[in-house]
Chains A and B, each alone.
Chain A
Amino acid sequence: MTRTDVLEALTHVMDPEIPTLSLVDMGVITGVTVAEDGSVRVTMTPTFVGCPAIDVMRSEAEAAVRAIGVEKVTVEVNFDEPWTTNRLTEHGRQMLLKHGLAPPEPFDTTVELHLDVLNNTACPYCGSRNTTMKSPFGPTLCRSLHYCNACQQAFEGFKPV
Chain B
Amino acid sequence: MSTATQRLILRMADDELILAHRHSEWTGMGPLLEEDIAFSSIAQDKLGHAQALYQILHDQFEAPVPDAQAFGRNEATFTCCQFVELPNGEYDFSLVRHFLFDTAEYLRYGMLGKSTVEPLAKLARKVHGELKYHLYHAQTWIIQLSSQGTEESKARMQTALNEAWPYALGMFDPKDDDAALSADGVFPGEQALEDAWRASVADICAKATLVVPTDTAAMLGGRKGFHTEYLQPMLDEMTEVYRIDPSAEW
Q: How far does the alpha carbon of A131 sit from the alpha carbon of B46 in the complex, in Å?
A: 29
Residues of the A chain whose Cβ atoms lie less than 8 Å from the Cβ of B48: 48-51
Q: How far does the alpha carbon of A45 sit from the alpha carbon of B51 in the complex, in Å?
A: 15
Whether, in the assembled complex, B70 has its beta carbon less than 8 Å from a beta carbon of chain A, the answer is: no
Determine whether the beta carbon of B122 is less than 8 Å from that of A50: no
A contact face: mostly helix, strand, loop, or mixed? loop
Closest-CB distance, B50 to chain A (whole angstroms): 9
What residue in chain A is nearest B53 (Cβ atoms)?
A: A49
Q: How far does the alpha carbon of A136 sit from the alpha carbon of B125 in the complex, in Å?
A: 20
Residues of the B chain whose Cβ atoms lie less than 8 Å from the Cβ of A45: 126
Partner-contacting stretch, out of B35-43, B204-212, B227-235, B237-245: B35-43
Q: How far does the alpha carbon of A137 sit from the alpha carbon of B41 in the complex, in Å?
A: 7
Whether, in the assembled complex, B127 has its beta carbon less than 8 Å from a beta carbon of chain A, the answer is: yes
Closest-CB distance, A115 to chain B (whole angstroms): 5
Whether, in the assembled complex, B11 has its beta carbon less than 8 Å from a beta carbon of chain A, the answer is: no
Determine whether the beta carbon of A135 is less than 8 Å from that of B38: yes
Residues of the B chain whose Cβ atoms lie less than 8 Å from the Cβ of A50: 44-49, 51
Residues of the B chain whose Cβ atoms lie less than 8 Å from the Cβ of A48: 45, 48, 130
Determine whether the beta carbon of A79 is less than 8 Å from that of B37: no
Determine whether the beta carbon of B34 is less than 8 Å from that of A145: yes
Whether, in the assembled complex, B136 has its beta carbon less than 8 Å from a beta carbon of chain A, the answer is: yes
Whether, in the assembled complex, B129 has its beta carbon less than 8 Å from a beta carbon of chain A, the answer is: yes
**How many B residues are at the interface, by size bracket?**
20 to 34
Determine whether the beta carbon of A113 is less than 8 Å from that of B44: no
Whether, in the assembled complex, A80 has its beta carbon less than 8 Å from a beta carbon of chain B, the answer is: yes
Determine whether the beta carbon of A82 is less than 8 Å from that of B122: yes
**How many A residues are at the interface, by size bracket?**
20 to 34
**Residue from the list B38, B119, B126 in contact with A136, Cβ < 8 A:** B38
Whether, in the assembled complex, B133 has its beta carbon less than 8 Å from a beta carbon of chain A, the answer is: yes
Proximity bits, B98-126, A CB within 8 Å = 1, else 0: 00000000000000000000010011011
Determine whether the beta carbon of B133 is less than 8 Å from that of A136: yes
Determine whether the beta carbon of A159 is less than 8 Å from that of B133: yes
Residues of the B chain whose Cβ atoms lie less than 8 Å from the Cβ of A83: 126
Within 8 A of B (CB), among A125-158: 134-139, 141, 145
Determine whether the beta carbon of B47 is less than 8 Å from that of A82: no
Q: How far does the alpha carbon of A80 sit from the alpha carbon of B127 in the complex, in Å?
A: 13
Residue of A82, A115, A137 most packed against chain B (CB within 10 A): A137
Selected A-B contacts with CB under 8 Å, 30 pairs? A45-B126, A48-B45, A49-B52, A50-B46, A50-B48, A79-B123, A79-B126, A82-B125, A82-B126, A83-B126, A113-B129, A115-B132, A115-B136, A134-B34, A135-B34, A135-B37, A135-B38, A136-B133, A136-B136, A136-B137, A137-B34, A137-B40, A137-B41, A137-B42, A137-B133, A138-B41, A141-B41, A141-B44, A159-B133, A161-B129
| Chain B residues engaging chain A, CB cutoff 8 angstroms | 34, 37-38, 40-42, 44-49, 51-52, 119, 122-123, 125-127, 129-130, 132-133, 136-137
